[in-house]
Amino acid sequence: MIPTNNQKLINWVKDIQAMCAPDSVVWCDGTKAEYDQMIKIVVDGKLAKPLKKRPNSYLFRSDASDVARVENRTYIASKRKEDAGPTNNWVDPIELKETMKSLYTGCMKGRVMYVIPFSMGPIGSPIAKIGVEITDSPYVVANMHIMTRVGGRVLEVLGDKGEFIPCLHSVGKPLLSCQDDNGQWPCAPLDKKYISHFPDDRSIWSYGSGYGGNALLGKKCLALRIASAQAKDEGWLAEHMLILKVTNPEGKSKYIAAAFPSACGKTNLAMLVPTIPGWKVETVGDDIAWMKYGSDGKLYAINPEAGFFGVAPGTSMDSNPNAMHTIEKNTIFTNVALTEDGDVWWEGIGYDAPGTLIDWNGKEWIQDKENKGQKPAAHPNSRFTTPAAQCPSIASNFEDPAGVPIDAILFGGRRPSTIPLVHQSRNWNHGVFMGSIVGSEITAAALDLKAGTIRRDPFAMLPFCGYHMGDYFAHWIKVGTKSTPDKQPKFFFVNWFRKTKEGKWLWPGYGDNSRVLKWIFERCDGVGKAVETPIGFMPTLDAIDRPESVSAQDMQELLSLDKDGWKKELADVRSEHYPKFGSKLPKELHAQLDDIEKNL
């Protein structure tokens, strides 16, 4: 029985059924029984293994060609090429749909077609959006149960006339009669994988990959690429940002959103355990923030996701104890290693591999303690999918449909020099300038780029913005005109990654980052000590509680203004970075650049 009277949805499902030719169609209801049934299907099919050491947790191993987002197969198919901009792969939407229709035709033969109604954000929230994903993957259904809100309540809110974002997905591997996957991860070859976004008609088509953001279409595809285009048209913000709640010893709380490129400690910050007495940090979201102005002129944010899809390697009791406790049960692991006693292991977990493991390729693996070029047991992009609600640091109001009021927005990158530990923008447009130049330094491990150069990732949105980034910057400038400075969040740039010339870390990071959050909290109240500099406001030497491991000399270095370094930084922005955006780069950002150069 079809559980909705929404004719647009019914017609779309029928059209996809006719094209993809599945053996049957199942409308998902989001119940535990349904989740358990999906898990039974993949366990019986030898695609997943129960983990003896973790209740209701399972390990999957994907195909070696299907281990991460495939950026070179990800498309923004706007009607006009110039709307996609220089940082996106563009294909004409008519041409792309014809190509993909030929692949979709008959692609679900031998499989079940699942229809997943889901809400990004608390169901019924004025900031939330409804999507419907069609998929032939029970792995996707199970993950969507964790990452989104699935089921009948979503269809009730959708109603007979409500709008939804259609998301079509197939693993791209039809089955012959009486055939199954024989324990092999189903996907199509790399050159047949397509992750396609059509911002003009608000739809997503994904083919050939069963992994991560390529297949869980509520995540990067809807929550960022399509939502960012919607947000531009509707006057709000869809951002690649964590949301955390900071409470001081007096019980006063503030909310902070933060955008960092990958490998810059975003999840660790979202779940931080403070080292300063009396302060508390709670998690609202670890990856995505949707923000709209409330009637009071403040910017309110929701985390549109219901779970965490985190990178496993490097996660440990030292780096992120809250994440480690979150994944003790009810968790899906993909491409990590399996221990002899039925637990998981990965590089950076904090202890040596216990005996002989089965690596992510399904082969025996014994740790080489000297690590002489040994391939990792867990894939570097191996993941855990786990419910946000079971995180020990989750904020009690993380599902408040009204969202939380954002007091500060942070940007950051992995920069061993030039960028100080923290500095604050002078105003909104200066904050947008900060976000527009975010970058991390390339290491010698990146063979395609010169070591020491900066890989720019504006607002940490480079792979996720659904339209021209020059227009994206202009949208941020415009959003800043919709309220007054006294009600808007303040902008900060942080850098936990400063090093000495000898390569020693100047700042301990992790829980001690709470000391920087404390100063940011105080600045939002107008009481934190600061000095104005050409790059913005910086803490005085005594403004931040200094950890015992940081010398006074190191603190001086962390909070010093490197004028020569900044001149080189701005010259790089002017000659290499900003020209990419051509005439669409807002004049306000050119003005910020001119102003800072002049002040230096």
**What are the boundaries of each domain within the chain?**
7-30+67-234, 49-60+306-392, 239-303+398-599
The Cβ of residue 273 has, within 10 Å, a number of other Cβ atoms equal to 15
Q: For 405-428, what is each residue's pLDDT tens digit?
A: 999 999 999 999 999 999 999 999
Q: For 513-550, what is each residue's pLDDT tens digit?
A: 999 999 999 999 999 999 999 999 999 999 999 999 99
- Per-residue pLDDT at 374 exceeds 60: yes
| Three-state DSSP class for residue 174 | coil
Provide the pLDDT for residue 452.
Answer: 62
- Per-residue pLDDT at 445 exceeds 50: no
* 265 — pLDDT class (breaks 50, 70, 90): confident
Provide the pLDDT for residue 444.
Answer: 43
CB 263 within 8 A of CB 292: no
DSSP conformation letters of 235-265:
T-EEES-EEEEEE-TTS-EEEEEEE--TTSS
* 450 — pLDDT class (breaks 50, 70, 90): low
Q: What class, spelled out in words, does domain 49-60+306-392 have in CATH?
A: mainly beta
Instruction: Work out the end-to-end distance of the chain between its first and last CA atoms, rounded to an integer number of angstroms.
Output: 69
Choosing from 28, 107, 167, 264, the catalytic residue is: 264
* 446 — pLDDT class (breaks 50, 70, 90): very low
Q: For 280-315, what is each residue's pLDDT tens digit?
A: 999 999 999 999 999 999 999 999 999 999 999 999
Write down the H helix ranges in 456-578. Answer: 469-479, 514-524, 552-558, 563-572
CA-wise closest residue to 542 among 532, 523, 528 = 528
- Per-residue pLDDT at 120 exceeds 60: yes
The share of the chain scoring above pLDDT 90, in percent, equals 94
The share of the chain scoring above pLDDT 70, in percent, equals 98
Name residue 291's beta-bridge partners.
237, 301
Q: How many residues does the chain have?
A: 600
| Three-state DSSP class for residue 530 | strand
Q: Please give the average per-residue pLDDT across 123-132, as a whole number.
A: 96
Q: How far apart (Å, rounded) are the C-alpha atoms in residues 291 and 403?
A: 8
Name residue 197's beta-bridge partners.
76, 204
C-alpha 146 chain-centroid distance: 15
Sheet with 337-338: list strands edge to edge.
344-345, 337-338, 357-358, 364-365
Burial class (CB in 10 A: 0-12, 13-18, 19+), 415: buried
Q: For 555-594, what is each residue's pLDDT tens digit?
A: 999 999 999 999 999 999 999 999 999 999 999 999 999 9
CB 455 within 8 A of CB 449: yes
CA-wise closest residue to 209 among 226, 229, 192 = 192
Which residues touch 245 (CB under 8 Å, ≥6 apart)? 253, 254, 255, 256, 281, 282, 283, 284, 395, 397, 404
Q: How far apart (Å, rounded) are the C-alpha atoms in residues 516 and 42?
A: 45
| Three-state DSSP class for residue 302 | strand
Q: For 472-523, what is each residue's pLDDT tens digit?
A: 999 999 999 999 999 999 999 999 999 998 989 999 999 999 999 999 999 9
Q: Which helix (H) or strand (E) holds 207?
A: strand 203-207
| Three-state DSSP class for residue 53 | coil
Q: How many CA within 13 A on the CB side of residue 408? A: 28
Q: How far apart (Å, rounded) are the C-alpha atoms in residues 375 and 408?
A: 41
- Per-residue pLDDT at 219 exceeds 60: yes
pTM above 0.85, yes or no: yes
Q: For 68-78, what is each residue's pLDDT tens digit?
A: 989 899 999 99
CB 440 within 8 A of CB 264: yes
Provide the pLDDT for residue 451.
Answer: 52
Q: Is 264 a catalytic residue?
A: yes
CB 151 within 8 A of CB 117: yes
- Per-residue pLDDT at 192 exceeds 60: yes
Average per-residue pLDDT in the chain? 96
Provide the pLDDT for residue 448.
Answer: 46
CB 573 within 8 A of CB 454: no
Q: How far apart (Å, rounded) are the C-alpha atoms in residues 272 and 323?
A: 10
- Per-residue pLDDT at 264 exceeds 90: no
CB 113 within 8 A of CB 104: no
Q: For 130-152, what is each residue's pLDDT tens digit?
A: 999 999 999 999 999 999 999 99
394 vs 178, higher pLDDT:
394
Provide the pLDDT for residue 454.
Answer: 84
Q: What class, spelled out in words, does domain 7-30+67-234 have in CATH?
A: alpha beta
- Per-residue pLDDT at 449 exceeds 80: no
Count Cβ neighbours within 10 Å for each residue of 19-32 and write b for 16 or more, e otherwise. Answer: ebbbeebebbbbee
- Per-residue pLDDT at 184 exceeds 80: yes
Fold classification of 239-303+398-599 (topology level)? Phosphoenolpyruvate Carboxykinase; domain 3 (3.90.228)
